[in-house]
Structure 1
């Protein structure tokens, strides 16, 4: 308050109104301190014609400023009127009080400070609601990430399964061919010379060995070890609502 009083660059209004403004701010500051709140010097003003203080209630800072309502008026009654305002912030609550014939601002100081307290409560509730929403969204994001990881791993295992099934199917077809060739060679009365038969038998022997080598079921398959899903694999299952980088962003990486 002393800094505000001694700052000639603030509350540049007629001396009588300046003293009255200072006394109102001083009374508000004293009552705020009595209630356990912090009072700080306000350094942000729209013009040199106003001055004020910041009252901090439970971490919520609210600027209270006072100014002359009609500085250009030549009417003594109008030019003597003051206005006390609270910064707008996020609130749609009342934030301006004026001198009127039926009420001077000095009688509204308790209402003004009460409004600061109401805004602080509203802000605390808003922050609590935002924190709950943030936590809930993070839980949903982590659940979505886990589900995306499961699906990405499933895709990896399914790809291995398809590859093995493809090799098994190829081995089955080639094995059926070998069986058919073996039956052909066993047919009596084939008008084929011995050299051709011997060549076919060698071919059948090689084919049997090849089929045995590629058949994945010649030995028991082992459970594959999936790799850590890549960002692209996760993104394919994450959906547009979520980002790989965290719950605070939507879509993309």
Structure 2
């Protein structure tokens, strides 16, 4: 049977009466012949008394109720029904607690994901800034070299050698302009959509795939 979703197994068992076993002549003869034979001490016979056993769910006041001269089983039925109800209520409380725990965990995971995205974006901006600084230093060194190269080129007489130097300087000047961040527009970089592996370093143990 089920009580608020909790399965409770309900078994009705027949009690047995125990009595002293009176050995038969055959048993006595066999025991005398073979030392390994043991004559039972008691006999068990079915009685008219019944016993009800419950299993499944959280135990509260009991799991078994038996007939007795002081309290027949039928007078204990209300207690049995109450126990089944308590187990159902406990199961429902547990289910609701698990649902709430899962909801809270989901909220914590969503907050962790939002924070990880913010940290990822901040880290990306920092790396972009550092990359720009490194590019600016390279461009500055190249610009200094180009100034020296122009000074040298000015000393060359007109002719093939100077034309080749001018072609080279034209390309080199364009290259420096392309890599120098100061020549480009300064603005916040566009943050690419992070992949799962991008967020892992910022999730503090959370999975990027779900609340687990």
With normalisation by structure 2, the TM-score equals 0.69
C-alpha separation between the residues in 1 aligned to 2:69 and 2:55? Answer: 25
Contact 1:86-1:95 at 8 Å conserved across structures: yes
Q: Which residue does 2:70 correspond to in 1?
A: 102
Deviation at 1:64, TM superposition (A): 2.0
Higher relative contact order (CA 8 A, sep 6+): 2
C-alpha separation between the residues in 2 aligned to 1:71 and 1:245? Answer: 62
Q: Structure 2: which 5+ residue stretches go unaligned?
A: 20-42
Residues 161 and 83 (structure 1), Cα distance of their counterparts in 2 relative to 1, 3 Å cut: same
Residues 60 and 88 (structure 1), Cα distance of their counterparts in 2 relative to 1, 3 Å cut: closer
Deviation at 1:141, TM superposition (A): 1.0
Contact 2:7-2:56 at 8 Å conserved across structures: no
Q: Which residue does 1:214 correspond to in 2?
A: 179
Q: Which residue does 2:197 correspond to in 1?
A: 232
* Structure 1 SS opposite 2:65: strand
Deviation at 1:133, TM superposition (A): 0.6
C-alpha separation between the residues in 2 aligned to 1:215 and 1:230? Answer: 29
Cα deviation 1:156-182 (Å, max 9, x = unaligned): 333333332221110112223345667
C-alpha separation between the residues in 2 aligned to 1:72 and 1:238? Answer: 67
Which protein has the larger Cα radius of gyration, Structure 1 or Structure 2?
2
C-alpha separation between the residues in 1 aligned to 2:207 and 2:156? Answer: 72
Q: Which residue does 1:62 correspond to in 2?
A: 8
Q: Which residue does 2:210 correspond to in 1?
A: 246
Q: CA RMSD in A?
A: 3.4
* Structure 1 SS opposite 2:209: coil
Q: 1 or 2, which has the higher strand percentage?
A: 2
Structure 2 counterparts to residues 15-164 of structure 1, below 5 A: 54=1, 56-70=2-16, 74=43, 79-89=47-57, 91-93=58-60, 94-164=62-132
* Structure 2 SS opposite 1:79: strand
* Structure 2 SS opposite 1:216: coil
Cα deviation 1:135-159 (Å, max 9, x = unaligned): 1001011111222222333333333
C-alpha separation between the residues in 2 aligned to 1:210 and 1:129? Answer: 64
C-alpha separation between the residues in 2 aligned to 1:148 and 1:113? Answer: 52
Q: How many residues align?
A: 186
Contact 2:12-2:52 at 8 Å conserved across structures: yes
